[in-house]
Amino acid sequence: MPTRLLHLGMALAAVLLAGLPFTSALPGAAQAPPAVTVTYHAGWNLVGGPPGTTLSGAQGDLWTLAPDGSGYVSAPASTPLTTGAGYWALFLADTQISLPAALAPAPPVSLPAGVWSIAGNPTSEPLTLSGADAAYGFDPAGGYTPLTVLPPGRAALVYSAAGGTLALTPAAGGPDTIALLPQPTPAAATIDASPPAEPASASESGVTVLASGVGQAKPGGPVVVAALMRNDGPNVDSSPVTITVYDTSGAVLAAADTTLHYLPTGTTTGFAHRLTIHTAGVAASAQIAVGTGKPAGAPLPGALSVSQTAVTADRSGLQASALLTSTYTTDLTEVRVDAIAYDSGGTIVGGGETIKRLIPTGSATGVIVPLDVSATPARVDLYANLP
């Protein structure tokens, strides 16, 4: 027997005689992470998991988007999850599920062009998403949230205009921000037993609310409801928009009906609306519904662009300033400018709106948008559109 094998056998015998535990893992070998427990809140959740995982406690069917994005397909809730797939799952009460240990790497996910897909985390580790133009998580307590790191047990709605590949790579460990949200306790009868639209309510015209938030500088003060919207339908104008603002107890604090500006097909833009309230209430959330607008013609030749955006403060509060440039062939007599404010985590925390009455062609014009925000913004994006 070779000397090295003899020494290894003697060492193993010594371990066994001493009653010590023995592991066959070699130095440097990858060790599987421990199993993790995920909390899903009552309502619809975007879920994913290691292959073979079953969602104990999920009700009805699981729903996922067809590979070509043409619509939803369903499977029984008892169906084992598959690698990289994401699903809508309904829970009637807050539910904890233990995921088996599963190491990265995760295989890439193919993204079709111009449609939404659902990608799930097939491991028990947080994964960084890259390769998509947009990615949103969802929780019934907080709604849609843009994300770049997908925690274990979660899935994301992802979009790529040109198509491509979504890469899922190991990320630095961190808390599951969805699980740390305040846990609601709605009655089961109030839960809508159908998957939310992707990634929010879309009108028949194709206008979708990608993300939204509220901004309020002080209790009782005006509230700005700001949203990121996309039109994947035909050119549309004057789409009706209904806004409802809720306070911290869930009571209606303010409501308004307005219209969305002209929106060409394939366009993503910001939209903000300021509401006045008549109590000392604190705005906590808002609901935005977009209806079917009027069919509209092709956009005029030309474009509006925003540059040199800055946020400043004066005695009246915060404001965003920028230069607005037009490439239209004639002067514009009215342009709408919407500001969307984000915190450091990418959550919308307010914004503002203004109308600019004259934009000369071929030159840059200054614009200032007053802001109402609930937190100090990390960035503010401005969007200029024809009314």
Same-domain check for residues 259 and 355: no
Q: Is the pLDDT of residue 236 over 60?
A: yes
| Domain assignment of residue 6, yes or no | no
Q: What percent of the chain has pLDDT over 70?
A: 81
Report the distance separating Cα 176 and Cα 180, nearest Å. 7
Backbone angles phi, psi at 294, to 5 degrees: -90, 135
**Residue 12 forms part of a structural domain:** no
Q: What is the pLDDT of residues 181-204, one digit of tens each?
A: 333 333 333 344 445 544 443 334
Question: What are phi and psi for residue 312, nearest 5 degrees?
Answer: -130, 165
Label each residue of the chain as H, E or C.
CCHHHHHHHHHHHHHHHCCCCCCCCCCCCCCCCCCEEEEECCEEEEECCCCCCCCCCCEEEEEEECCCCCCEEEEECCCCCCCCECEEEEECCCEEEEECCCCCCCCCEEECCCCEEEEECCCCCCEEEECCCEEEEEECCCEEEECCEECCCEEEEEECCCCEEEEEEECCCCCCCCCCCCCCCCCHHHCCCCCCCCCCCECCCCEEEEEEEEECCCCCCCEEEEEEEEECCCCEECEEEEEEEEECCCCEEEEEEEEECCECCCEEEEEEEEECCCCCCCEEEEEEEECCCEECCCCCCCCEEEEEEEEEEECCEEEEEEEEEECCCCCECCEEEEEEEECCCCCEEEEEEEEECCECCCCEEEEEEECEECCCCCEEEEEEECC
Q: What is the C-alpha to C-alpha distance for residues 162 and 364, in angstroms, rounded to an integer?
A: 31
> 19: which 2 tokens?
């009653």
Same domain? For 290 and 313 the reply is no
> Tell me: the pLDDT tens digits for 101-112?
887 678 888 888
318 and 278 belong to one structural domain: no
Indicate whether 4 pLDDT > 50. no
240: Cβ–Cβ under 8 A, 6 or more apart, which residues? 257, 258, 259, 260, 290, 291, 292, 293
* Alpha-helical regions (H) of 271-341: none
Percent of the chain with pLDDT over 90: 30
* pLDDT classification of 26: cutoffs 50, 70, 90: very low
Q: How far apart are CA 350 and CA 374, in angstroms?
A: 7
Q: Evaluate whether residue 7 is within a structural domain.
A: no
1 assigned to some structural domain: no
Domain limit, last residue, from 129, 163, 182: 182
Domain count for the chain, please give it.
3
Check residue 147 and report its DSSP letter: -
What is the rounded distance in angstroms from the CA atom of residue 165 to the CA atom of residue 97? Answer: 29
What mean pLDDT do residues 69-94 have?
83
Same domain, 161 and 219: no
Q: Are 373 and 319 in contact (CB under 8 A)?
A: no
Asked if the model's pLDDT at residue 88 lies above 60, the reply is: yes
Domain residues for 350?
A: 304-385
The answer to the question of residue 29 being in a domain is no
Taking phi over 0 as left and psi of -120 to 50 as alpha, with beta for the rest, 143 belongs to: left
Do 118 and 64 meet the contact criterion of CB atoms below 8 Å apart? yes
Within this chain, do residues 227 and 291 fall inside the same structural domain, yes or no? yes
CATH number at residue 372: 2.60.40.3230
Write the CATH number for 240: 2.60.40.10
Taking the whole predicted model, whether its pTM rises above 0.75 is answered as no
Same domain, 316 and 278: no
**22 within some domain:** no
* Domain identity same for 157 and 270: no
pLDDT tens column, 300-336: 888 899 999 999 998 888 999 999 999 998 999 999 9
**247 and 370, same domain (yes or no):** no
- Are residues 159 and 267 both part of a single domain? no
Q: Please say which residue of 230, 261, 295 terminates a domain.
A: 295
- Report the mean per-residue pLDDT for the chain: 80
Q: Rounded CA gap, 344 and 332, in Å?
A: 35
Whether residues 176 and 42 fall in one domain: yes
Q: What is the pLDDT of residue 250?
A: 85
Instruction: Indicate the pLDDT class of residue 10, thresholds 50, 70 and 90.
Output: very low
Domain membership flag for residue 14: no
Residues 268 and 324 placed together within one structural domain of the fold: no
Mean pLDDT of 369-382: 94
> Do 306 and 324 form a contact (C-beta atoms < 8 A)?
yes
Is residue 11 assigned to a domain? no
d(CA 371, CA 356): 16
Instruction: Give how far the C-alpha of residue 103 lies from the chain's centroid of Cα atoms, to the nearest Å.
Output: 25
- Claim to verify: residue 288 and residue 318 sit in the same structural domain: no
Joined tokens for residue 205: 């015209």
Q: Pairing between strand 283-290 and 239-247?
A: antiparallel
The confidence score (pLDDT) of residue 195 equals 58
d(CA 64, CA 68): 11
Determine the Cα–Cα distance for residues 308 and 323; give it in Å rounded to an integer. 6
